[in-house]
Structure 1
Amino acid sequence: MVQAMFTAEPELRYSDGIAAERTMLAVRVNAAALQRRLPAGWESVPYEGDDLRGKSLRGANVLIPFHEVYASRSDDGTGGGTAQVSYIAFVSQARNLATGAMAHVHWFTYTEEPAGVPGRYRDGKLARITRSLSFTKERRGETRVRQIVSAVGDAGQVDLSLAYEQGGLVVWLTADKPNLPLQAANDPDVVRWYQEDQVLNVVHSEPLNIDQVTELTFSVAGELADVFDGSEHVVAVVVQRPYMRQVYVP
């Protein structure tokens, strides 16, 4: 969802891709604690602006996508060996103070895939992730969705219980080239550029006064308690189903 503002885009080669769905929370958290999670030379930039991203997520400084991957492929275009995998990432929009470049900084992941530890962003930790998802449709045009996700690691835990009615704001976005750079907080040499084809369903956005959500319980405990200290606030909920992502690297 983020348009890059790098002064010059590097030459890129294809790396990998996934077919997935994700439920993404846009959250406002303790700004000082979040800044300490970012690498030196980067500053957190909360969402703002008049585009869809700025309007729908305004004020949030962390994105937490709950991913469910159904298929993956490698750099030669063939199907990867990864089975269906769940993971939860923690990402923040940030600015490089030296160059002014904007990117997302990827700073933590819970994954159930042992091969994803530490993973491409060098921040993955193994967790037991359980998930349930149900759809109820009794009348045309009215679908209720209930989702429960829990990730339990050795030193922390994330829990989400969410119920909503499909609808709100629905947007189909297709990028014609890689336009979303993600920087690894733990390794400045890791930058991955995303190119995404996705249907966005904004089911909750305080700035846009959208609220299709009937139940929302979200908690983070343990090793991320510095950032999620009890003052966190969910600004928006965006469901991306379906979601196709191609990744390119310098």
Structure 2
Amino acid sequence: MRSLYPTEGLESPPGGYFGYYNPISCLNVSHIVYIVSQEISLNSTVIMTIVLLVMMFGAGIFSSSTGYKLGRDALKEITQPDVRPSNISDRINNSSSRQEGVKLLREEDIIAQVKKRIAAGGVDPDTPPPQPQTQEKPKEEDQARSETTNQVTFPIVSSDGGVTMEITSTQRRSNSLQLNVNLKNESDQSVRFLYSFLNVTDDQGRALSASVDSLPGQLPPGTQTYTGTIAISTALLDNVQELAISLTDYPEQNLQLQMSGIPVAQ
């Protein structure tokens, strides 16, 4: 039987006729693997680039919208001035209508006024004569207060629980008012004082700061009298006529030594 495809006179390729039509036999397998890997890496690079571009685009949109919103909120209360020509002319007309005209004096009136002043010896005839100044009388309250101050006699004494405190006199020295104080403990137990608890008020109810000198913090029982001073700055005594003092023991606070109506030396 004769073949439909004659092969006489033809040299067969090294791989045979079927090997001649196989493409894999013409390419190197490693070269194919390299091409495939390059395509995969190229695709990943393109994808990463696209992702970065999308992120940058989104960040730009977000920042621009945020900046626009902040600027709009900041300029919300600011309005653009109305610069229309019609409104400007209306405002000018209104302001000019509100201005009062200058009142001019007639020459005849000025001459008549000058003649009257010359005739009156340089004094304006329309000016009323000056009234004699009357001396202000002191208020009754000040008089009563001064009389009460003069009637106060020293010593001013306060006693409680066998402890006696007395103000013997007041005097001004340099920039302070000094109260001379005597303390005596006739009880059967010692008494402790903390002079930061000393309360000094004026006749208007204001609390005044005071410093204590030479008075003992621990007052032993007995008949001995301890002398000291209470000093108050005169800068705190403007328009003050009387003082009040209260002192209690520490820490029990059982004693209440209170004195009022202490006159302020002038």
TM-score grouping bracket, smaller chain normalisation: under 0.3
Structure 2 length as normaliser, TM-score?
0.19
- The structure that has the greater radius of gyration is 2
Q: Structure 1 or 2: larger helix share?
A: 2
Structure 1 length as normaliser, TM-score?
0.20
Larger RCO, structure (CA 8 Å, separation 6 or more): 1
